[in-house]
Amino acid sequence: MNNTAPDRYTGRFAPSPSGPLHFGSLIAALGSYLQARSLAGQWQVRIEDLDPPREVAGAADDILRTLEAFGLHWDGALVYQSQRHERYQQILDDWASRGLTYYCHCTRKQIAAAGGLYTGHCRKLGLAAKGAAVRLKMFSPVYGFHDQLQGEVRVDERLAEEDFIVRRRDGFYAYNLAVVIDDMDAGITQVVRGADLLEPTARQIALYRLLSAPVPDWLHLPLAVFQGNKLSKQNHAPPLNIKAPGEALWQALTFLGQQPPADLFGAGADELLAWAISNWQLNKVPSRPDIELNCADSSHFQRPALS
């Protein structure tokens, strides 16, 4: 299913429709977009509607309208995870036939009582499928990886060795499973996303290896945090203002260390992006997991000093 030439850069942005895009989302979208465009590569968009209980009605369409208003136009067809369940199940069926997965009835409360990490309790019990999660037997754990921005990343050995869930008790497919299959099928050559996803990367690399698929490069951008918490939909970060994309884009570029000219503050999205693509320098992006902001609303972030 991979129709992308292996020598062509292919990146992506994969938001979940749990609410509107905010400044933290813009950083991930813009960073991935500029990395792709500066390398004359493709930039795809995938809606990760994998968890219906967390979805907000109309959020997917709102996200796409916001990307378009900010000039972040994607290549190729949109991908919705909700339309790929058959593909995920195909992989799970193959693993089950090879004895690589098993059913688990342990609850979160039981795992927490055992120390917070799953101990493999159900691995050899041959339990029934009804009401069970599906776990993958972790035969070849990954203990670390290289990130193009964050450097060498090490993972807790116990976490790396844990048999993790690939399909939840409620029947929904797990994020780690879906994201790896999607990126593999799309021919993604580099995953650019927020540093909050550093930890699951090791598990995802283990899945790529199990699937005998090329492992992409990794680039985790710093998170925008306010009062110690990352900007997120769950923390009620204000939505982006699609009527003033030039201001938020300028601020996002500044956050990413790109030093856009002061006279471009508030310029049109296309003008700002043209400058950003031509001047994108990854070595200027702060190599740290997060950056504290003085306000949760991008409309109050730093404004340029005009001479």
Give the DSSP H/E element, type plus range, for residue 24. Answer: helix 23-38
Residue 278 neighbours by CB distance under 10 Å: 9
Is 122 annotated to bind ligand?
Answer: yes
Q: Is 106 labeled as ligand-binding?
A: yes
> 48 among the known binding-site residues?
yes
The answer to the question of whether 15 is labelled as a binding residue is yes
Is the Cβ–Cβ distance between 255 and 295 less than 8 Å? no
Question: Encoding tokens for residue 214?
Answer: 């090329």
Q: Is 54 annotated as contributing to ligand binding?
A: no
Strands (E), the chain: 10-13, 42-47, 79-80, 101-104, 133-136, 144-147, 151-154, 165-167, 190-194, 217-221, 223-226, 229-230, 290-293
Measured CA angle at 208 (ends 50, 165), to 5 deg:
45
Instruction: Evaluate the CA torsion angle 34, 36, 37, 43 in order and state its sign.
Output: negative
Q: Which amino acid is at 184?
A: M
Contact 74, 67 (CB under 8 A): yes
The CB density around residue 231, as the number of other CB atoms within 10 Å, is: 24
Ligand-binding site membership of 118 (annotated):
yes
Kindly tell me the sign of the dihedral angle through the C-alpha atoms of 171, 176, 177, 181: positive
Contact 34, 72 (CB under 8 A): no
Distance CA 150, CA 191 (A): 13
- Nearest-angstrom CA–CA distance, 182 and 194: 18
Annotated binding-site members for ATP = 233
Residues annotated as binding site?
Answer: 12-16, 48, 104, 106, 118, 122, 175, 193, 233
> Could you tell me which residues are annotated as the binding site for Zn(2+)?
104, 106, 118, 122
Residues annotated in a binding site for L-glutamate: 12-16, 48, 175, 193
